[in-house]
Structure 1
Amino acid sequence: MSTSTITPVLNLDPDTLLLSTKDARAAAQQMAADYQSKQPFHYGGVDNFLHPEILDRVREELKQLPEAENSYDRPQERLKTSYVPERLPPYTRQLFYALNSRAVLAFVEEVTGIKGLIPDPYFAGGGIHVVANGGHLDIHADFNHHAGLNLERRVNMLIYLNKDWREEYGGSFEVWDENMSGKLASYVPLFNRMCMFSTSSDSWHGNPEPVNHPDGEPRMSIALYYYTATWDSSRKSHTTLFKPRPGSKDQRDRQVARRALLQDLLPPMLHRKLAWRLEKLGF
């Protein structure tokens, strides 16, 4: 069967990028039970997520990318760049707004069972992610606090843009258990595959196997994060936390470990000043 005749999971209109909330909630039913049954944290993946025409149009626009907002090239995050929607071409930008809409929030709430989700209008950390050949992102748990909005991070949605991708090309999205004793799941980043998971300080995931496309093509994805207004002063915020896989060459993130120790030992004002200075010095 041609992919053009397959009904997508989330039936956004390719031209208007609109979808009714009722249809979005109904679409969530096909993955909600499986998603919410996963342990030790909830996660899942589904193919044929959007009309392929939508992502084809995005791929066409992304042939020309602006200068990246963020670039990472250190042992834990190698050859990774990201692009915020506001600087991307118009159709791609509108797709991000659609994926922050009420209807899509209804879909994510139904799948995850988390009510009161809030989209991030600033797309902090989100946008288009590109990992070049040789690049990878080690297993990690994401930052848990949106400081600007004082919100708790709850859900990640990832949509892959890679045509004819194979497992041996690397870059698969992996889910690991809390003790890093075993890999729970692995998803090849196939075109129009969507992976989603509920985030916490123990939701260990990443794409640690280096991208190795025979034609040098990068791994590309759409990344969106959703929040709830459940943060309070009893919580401790953290940046991205990395964990090495057992028996691998993954390196510990000593930079984050140093900052965490300083945060525990120093008064808040002094810690902020010192953290700013260390940031400037590259520590």
Structure 2
Amino acid sequence: MINRKEIAILITEKLTLQKSALKTRFLLNKNTIGFFYVDELLPSDLVREIHKNFPKIEETKHRKNIRENKYVAYQMNKYHPLLEEVIYAFQEENVVSCIAEICNAPDILPDENLYAGGLSLMTKGNHLSPHLDNSHDKNRQLWRVFNLLFYVAPDWRLENGGNLELWPNGLEGEPIEIISKFNRLVVMATHQKSWHSVNKVLVDDVRCCVSNYYFSEKPLLHSDDFHITTFRARPSEKSRDLILKADNHLRSAVRKVFKKGIRENPHQYKK
């Protein structure tokens, strides 16, 4: 079986080939939500093997509430070892350094705990409301600065839904829709202006994603302040937005009293 170091070499080779273009793309959007994506990141046969070994829905955790509806998996030793290898390939030093150079963001760090990372699966009707990611790591010591999303569901199309949406002009503007295309890596900046979402899956299929976060001792924006994962509704959902604002306010108030939350967030890899 291919290991993480070998996968990391393949990732780095692909990123290096397109480095100049990726730098340009990221810089064009840096003042709103800096992002870039790379297609055909890894050999197709390898990505199909990754997809084939994704856990079954019943082997995952269902996150369903007013904010989100999706399935997650993060206790990686419960699943096929290839999945752990591909996740941690994105945390190898050569991959991290390459992405740091593209984004002109030195001193970024991967997260071996997979705090809020790991595997994400979405079936028909699943979605993720517009939100800002939690600003920090599990110990509230490092700033979350980049989100890496690697999509592995074959033949995924725009009309399937379940696509990433970026809101560079806030929730009053129009989102940029990025297809959750097979073998596509999306890298996006995370800060207090990086609103993003996943629109509803419309087909009887499963959208599969390998997710990683990078952290840093400094935030990407000097104006950044601590915030919990903050959810909003879509512009047309006025009543739902009021409920989510109240929910955000309540959860923020709790975190002011309990700096690390009332309980430890279970969404992390306990090795």
- Classify the TM-score, shorter chain: 0.7 to 0.9
Q: Which residue identity is paired with 2:258?
A: R
Q: How does 1:1-283 map to 2 (within 5 A)?
A: 16-19=6-9, 23=13, 26-27=16-17, 28-38=19-29, 39-62=31-54, 64=56, 67-68=59-60, 70-78=61-69, 80-84=70-74, 85-148=76-139, 150-207=141-198, 209-213=199-203, 216-230=204-218, 236-248=225-237, 251-252=240-241, 253=244, 254-261=246-253, 271-272=257-258, 276=262
In structure 2, the gaps of 5 or more residues are 266-271
Q: For the structure 1 residues 132 and 236, does the alpha-carbon distance in structure 2 shift closer, same or farther, using more than 3 Å as the test? A: same
Identity %: 22
Kept in 1: contact 2:91–2:110 (CA 8 A): yes
Query: Residue 177 of structure 1: CA displacement?
Result: 2.8
| Mean CA deviation greater in 22-31 or 106-115 | 22-31
Q: For the structure 1 residues 235 and 249, does the alpha-carbon distance in structure 2 shift closer, same or farther, using more than 3 Å as the test? A: closer
Kept in 2: contact 1:43–1:198 (CA 8 A): yes
**Distance in 1 (alpha carbons) for counterparts of 2:54 and 2:117:** 16
Q: For the structure 1 residues 66 and 244, does the alpha-carbon distance in structure 2 shift closer, same or farther, using more than 3 Å as the test? A: closer
Q: For the structure 1 residues 162 and 229, does the alpha-carbon distance in structure 2 shift closer, same or farther, using more than 3 Å as the test? A: same
Q: Which residue identity is paired with 1:169?
A: N
Q: Which has the higher contact order (CA 8 A, sep 6+)?
A: 2
In structure 1, the gaps of 5 or more residues are 1-11
**Distance in 2 (alpha carbons) for counterparts of 1:25 and 1:219:** 24
With normalisation by structure 1, the TM-score equals 0.79
Query: Residue 137 of structure 1: CA displacement?
Result: 0.2
Q: Which residue identity is paired with 1:59?
A: H
**Distance in 1 (alpha carbons) for counterparts of 2:238 and 2:51:** 33
With normalisation by structure 2, the TM-score equals 0.82
Query: Residue 114 of structure 1: CA displacement?
Result: 0.6
Q: For the structure 1 residues 228 and 242, does the alpha-carbon distance in structure 2 shift closer, same or farther, using more than 3 Å as the test? A: same
Write the deviation string for residues 125-178 of structure 1: whole angstroms up to 9, x where unpaired. 101101121110011110011132611100001011121122221111111134
Query: Residue 63 of structure 1: CA displacement?
Result: 5.3
Kept in 2: contact 1:24–1:107 (CA 8 A): no
Indicate the residue corresponding to 2:268 in structure 1: none
Higher Cα Rg: structure 1 or 2? Answer: 1
**Distance in 1 (alpha carbons) for counterparts of 2:239 and 2:43:** 37
Write the deviation string for residues 45-67 of structure 1: whole angstroms up to 9, x where unpaired. 22112221221111121154673
Write the deviation string for residues 218-268 of structure 1: whole angstroms up to 9, x where unpaired. 21111110011227xx974222111222124782323222132455xxxx5
Q: CA RMSD in A?
A: 2.9
| Mean CA deviation greater in 143-152 or 57-66 | 57-66
Kept in 2: contact 1:20–1:103 (CA 8 A): no
SS of the residue corresponding to residue 156 of structure 1 reads strand
